[in-house]
């Protein structure tokens, strides 16, 4: 059996993509990096790693279903086993989620189910955490289901919220946690060690 075929969807800097590439190259096969923005720095990272890239702009399609259909065609053509959302800032139409049941992962920069849901992306998440007065935030890697940010949680790590944090300093601490968790979650998936029972994910001992 060949290596797990992974596609990573990005919109911006791609530091999580980099963490996946750095930690998993050779253990899985990165067959596609897909961006919805042509100027995403993540595309440069993919190019340097020799991973094929594609740009699918939301603006080029009449509605979300057509945008998602174009993406579905690409991942089908590439025989993708697992899709990793890594800072991808578009909600996917259920048609892709249904085609890849429990085969799409996402990293979210807070401890879900808090501070998630539609519109909770990047800096806005950290602003909401700071405004809430929470003393702890963190990173969550989860499976994507039709309900935004509510799919089964695979791994979480907590980070402290410090008194003088700004959205940027908090984001940096959370990103460092994401960079550890995301490769680990994909590694566990590739090893067949994630068993989903309802909304809970059991990690099978190695
Ligand atoms: C990450 O912190 C990721 O969790 C977040 O965007 C950042 C992307 O950084 N995603 C979301 O907020 C999804 N709701 P990166 O481009 O450097 O990987």
Q: What is the 3-state secondary structure (H, E, C) of 70-129?
A: HHHHHHHHCCCCEEEECCCCCCCCHHHHHHCCCCEEEEECCCCCCCCCCCCCCHHHHHHH
Tell me which residue of 112, 126, 122 sits closest to 90, measured CA to CA.
122
> Contact 128/197 with Cβ under 8 angstroms?
no
Q: Which domain, by its residues, includes 155?
A: 107-206
Same domain assignment for residues 115 and 174: yes
Six token digits for residue 128: 């909401």
Same domain assignment for residues 152 and 65: no
Residues of the chain with pLDDT under 70: none
CB of 12 closer than 6 angstroms to any ligand 1 atom: yes
CB of 18 closer than 6 angstroms to any ligand 1 atom: no
Name the helix (H) or strand (E) containing 53: strand 53-55
Six token digits for residue 189: 């998936």
Same domain assignment for residues 88 and 4: yes
Task: Report pLDDT for 148.
Answer: 95
Atom of ligand 1 nearest to the CA of 122: 12
Atom of ligand 1 nearest to the CA of 16: 18
Active site residue 142: no
pLDDT tens digits, one per residue of 75-125: 999 999 999 999 999 989 999 999 999 999 999 999 999 999 999 999 999
Task: Report pLDDT for 141.
Answer: 99
Same domain assignment for residues 35 and 126: no
> Cα(154) to centroid of ligand 1, in Å?
17
pTM of the model: 0.98
Q: What is the 3-state secondary structure (H, E, C) of 161-185?
A: CCCCCCHHHHHHHHHHHHHHHHHHH
Task: Report pLDDT for 126.
Answer: 98
Task: Report pLDDT for 5.
Answer: 98
Same domain assignment for residues 54 and 129: no
Task: Report pLDDT for 111.
Answer: 98
Atom of ligand 1 nearest to the CA of 89: 13
At 87, which CATH number?
A: 3.40.50.170
> Cα(1) to centroid of ligand 1, in Å?
32
Give the count of domains, the chain.
2
Same domain assignment for residues 68 and 115: no
Residue 189 CA to residue 179 CA, distance in Å, equals 16
């Amino acid at each position: 059996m060949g290596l797990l075929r992974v596609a990573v969807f990005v919109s911006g800097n791609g530091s999580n993509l980099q963490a996946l590439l750095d930690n998993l190259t050779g253990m899985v096969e990165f067959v596609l990096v897909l961006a919805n923005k042509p100027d995403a720095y993540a595309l440069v990272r993919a190019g340097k790693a020799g991973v094929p890239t594609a740009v699918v702009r939301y603006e080029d399609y009449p509605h979300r279903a057509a945008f998602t259909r174009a993406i579905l065609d690409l991942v089908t053509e590439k025989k993708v086993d697992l899709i990793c959302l890594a800072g991808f800032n578009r909600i996917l139409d259920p048609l892709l989620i249904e085609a890849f049941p429990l085969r799409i992962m996402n990293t979210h920069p807070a401890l879900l189910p808090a501070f998630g849901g539609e519109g909770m992306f990047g800096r806005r998440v950290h602003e909401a955490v700071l405004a809430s007065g929470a003393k702890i935030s963190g990173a969550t890697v989860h499976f994507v289901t039709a309900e935004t940010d509510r799919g089964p949680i695979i791994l979480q790590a907590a980070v402290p919220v410090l008194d003088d944090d700004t959205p940027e300093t908090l984001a940096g601490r959370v990103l460092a946690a994401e960079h550890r968790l995301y490769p680990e979650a994909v590694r566990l998936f590739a090893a067949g060690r994630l068993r989903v029972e309802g909304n809970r994910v059991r990690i099978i001992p190695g």
